[in-house]
């Protein structure tokens, strides 16, 4: 990833929940955690919202998705295996 920081949205399509992770500079650990969770059948995905304030990113995603925001790291967490 580049040297610029960004926020990552992690979406759980089964529960309708999402988290905002970051700001960060490297999403590889998060992508790996998402793929591992998908391999066991979870319907989740992640994507960058760019160089935004985390609260602004959450408000924008919530407005378009009608999802419920949950605590960072609660859908997947690269430090927990996923």
pLDDT, tens digit (0-9, with 9 covering 90-100), for 30-53 = 999 999 999 999 999 999 999 999
Residue 56: partners with Cβ closer than 8 Å, 6 or more residues away = none
Which contiguous run of DSSP H or E holds residue 28? helix 28-39
* Dihedral angle computed from the Cα positions of residues 18, 58, 7 and 43, in that order, rounded to the nearest 10 degrees: 20
Answering whether pTM is above 0.85, one says yes
User: For 3-36, how does the pLDDT look when each residue is reduced to its tens digit (9 = 90+)?
Assistant: 789 999 999 999 999 999 999 999 999 999 999 9
pLDDT tens-digit map of 50-75: 999 999 999 999 998 989 999 999 99
**Positive/negative CA dihedral, 57, 10, 45, 62:** negative
Domain locations in the chain as residue ranges: 6-73
Question: SS3 for 39?
Answer: helix
């Amino acid at each position: 990833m580049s040297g610029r920081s960004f926020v990552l949205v992690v979406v759980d399509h089964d529960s309708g929940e999402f988290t905002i992770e970051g700001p960060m500079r490297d999403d590889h650990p998060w992508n790996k955690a998402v793929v591992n969770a998908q391999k066991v059948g979870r319907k989740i995905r992640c994507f960058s919202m760019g160089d935004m304030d985390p609260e602004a990113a959450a408000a924008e995603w919530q407005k378009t998705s009608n999802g419920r925001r949950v605590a960072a790291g609660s859908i997947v967490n690269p430090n927990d295996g996923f």
